[in-house]
């Protein structure tokens, strides 16, 4: 049985969404050493990941990448990245396609590229990541990406402890609402609630609460907090502090501080179990920033919570 911690890596998401993966039948793709040919390779690589053509995608790795990252690793990690995209953005990856490709530092032997992603209607799904430049080199008669570290399975067991199918999981029916997660889903320090429903696999992802370090695993079926190990069907609840902790005219409690550059958030849980999300804004007529949710707002510079509609900007 495959046992592994599954963590949603934003850098892996960027690689899967903005790098690329494609080719014909897994053979090394051929193309001229031109900028247009590079853009075509980047798009083909990315589109192949979205459509699940991992053999074709793997062919766009450099020889050094193919030597360091086995195809089985690449297949698993790219499928996990695609599953994360689908779960996080509520979209079918096969409906996504590469949009405009940008290139910098181009020579006939190397370059860097990044791309935007568009949905099936041609609308922008993801702009080119400012940090998402990937390295490409011209070798063996075609363009290949040398960025492959995010597809390595180092620290992840892909062998299957029973020597069987490394992509097999316990049955999804083994997860019962309100009951402890069976040990088959545990890793000792983590919980992976990936499971099988017939011929389909439901992948689970490990993450942490916005407003605390509390960790949980989540899939389309439900979630479980690591510290209690109880499976709950439905959407995550109990991740944010209670909205009642925000008191009008009082300092924002430390539990809402996320240590980010922007300062803090006002995410909180309502008595109904629903979560209220907050967003940061800047005043139109000054550089003053504030954080606002449906419950109220607080300015970043004084962090005093004010109930009601936003004012004084």
Contact 237, 275 (CB under 8 A): yes
Whole-number average pLDDT of the chain: 80
pLDDT of residue 178: 96
Residue with the bigger pLDDT between 6 and 221: it is 221
Q: What are the phi and psi torsion angles at 191 (to 5°)?
A: -135, 130
pLDDT of residue 238: 81
* Residue 119 in tokens: 């949905």
Confidence of residue 230 (pLDDT cuts 50, 70, 90): very high
Confidence of residue 254 (pLDDT cuts 50, 70, 90): confident
Contact 281, 292 (CB under 8 A): yes
The residue length of the chain stands at 313
Contact 131, 14 (CB under 8 A): yes
Q: How far is CA 207 from CA 28, 131, 172, in A?
A: 37, 22, 20
Q: pLDDT over 90 for what percent of the chain?
A: 34
- CA 76 from centroid of its chain's CA atoms: 15
Residue with the bigger pLDDT between 262 and 186: it is 186
The pTM of this model reads 0.50
Rounded to whole angstroms, the Cα distance separating 93 from 180 reads 32
Residue 22, pLDDT > 50, answer no
299, containing H or E segment: strand 296-299
Q: CA neighbours within 13 Å on the CB side: how many for 70? A: 7
Contact 299, 289 (CB under 8 A): yes
- What is the number of other CB atoms lying within 10 angstroms of the CB of residue 48? 23
Max Cα–Cα distance, the chain, nearest Å: 67
Confidence of residue 129 (pLDDT cuts 50, 70, 90): low
Contact 193, 231 (CB under 8 A): yes
149-175 residue pLDDT tens: 777 766 555 554 444 555 578 999 999
Residue 196, pLDDT > 70, answer yes
Residue with the bigger pLDDT between 250 and 237: it is 250
3-state helix, strand, coil in the chain (%, to 5): 25, 25, 50
Cα angle for residues 98, 66, 207 (degrees, 5° grid): 60
Rounded to whole angstroms, the Cα distance separating 54 from 49 reads 6
* Residue 218 in tokens: 């989540």
pLDDT of residue 258: 66
Instruction: Show the DSSP H helices in the chain as ranges.
Output: 10-14, 35-51, 54-58, 63-68, 71-89
Structural domain spans, the chain: 10-151, 172-233, 243-307
50-75 residue pLDDT tens: 887 888 889 999 999 999 888 878 87
Mean pLDDT of 30-41: 93
CA nearest to 167, candidates 206, 216, 219, 202: 202
Name the CATH code of domain 10-151 (choices 3.10.450, 3.30.1490, 1.10.10, 3.30.200).
3.10.450
Rounded to whole angstroms, the Cα distance separating 256 from 117 reads 33
């Amino acid at each position: 049985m495959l046992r592994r911690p599954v963590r949603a890596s934003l850098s892996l998401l960027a690689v899967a969404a903005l790098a690329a993966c494609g080719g014909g039948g897994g053979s090394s793709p051929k193309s001229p050493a031109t900028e247009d040919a590079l853009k075509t390779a980047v798009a083909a690589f990315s589109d192949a990941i979205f459509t699940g053509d991992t053999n074709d995608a793997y062919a766009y790795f450099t020889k050094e990448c193919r030597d360091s990252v086995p195809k089985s690793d690449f297949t698993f990690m790219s499928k996990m990245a695609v599953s994360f995209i689908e779960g996080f953005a509520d979209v079918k990856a096969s409906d996504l396609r590469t949009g405009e490709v940008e290139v910098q530092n181009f020579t006939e032997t190397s370059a860097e590229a990044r791309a935007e992603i568009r949905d099936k209607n041609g609308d922008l799904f993801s702009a080119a990541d400012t940090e998402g430049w990937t390295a490409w080199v011209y070798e063996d008669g075609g363009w290949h990406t040398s960025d492959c570290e995010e597809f390595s399975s180092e620290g992840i067991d892909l062998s299957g402890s029973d020597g069987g199918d490394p992509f097999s999981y316990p049955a999804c029916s083994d997860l019962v609402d309100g009951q402890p997660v069976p040990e088959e889903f545990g890793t000792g320090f983590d919980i992976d609630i990936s499971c099988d429903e017939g011929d389909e696999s439901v992948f689970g992802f490990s993450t942490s609460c916005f407003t605390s370090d509390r960790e949980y695993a989540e899939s389309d079926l439900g979630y479980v907090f690591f510290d209690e190990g109880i499976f709950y069907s439905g959407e995550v609840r109990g991740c944010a502090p209670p909205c009642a902790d925000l008191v009008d005219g009082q300092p924002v409690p430390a539990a809402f501080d996320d240590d980010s550059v922007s300062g803090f958030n006002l995410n909180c849980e309502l008595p109904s179990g629903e979560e209220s999300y907050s967003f940061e804004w800047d005043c139109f007529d000054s550089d003053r920033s504030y954080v606002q949710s449906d419950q109220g707002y607080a300015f970043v510079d004084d962090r005093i919570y004010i109930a009601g509609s936003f004012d004084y900007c």
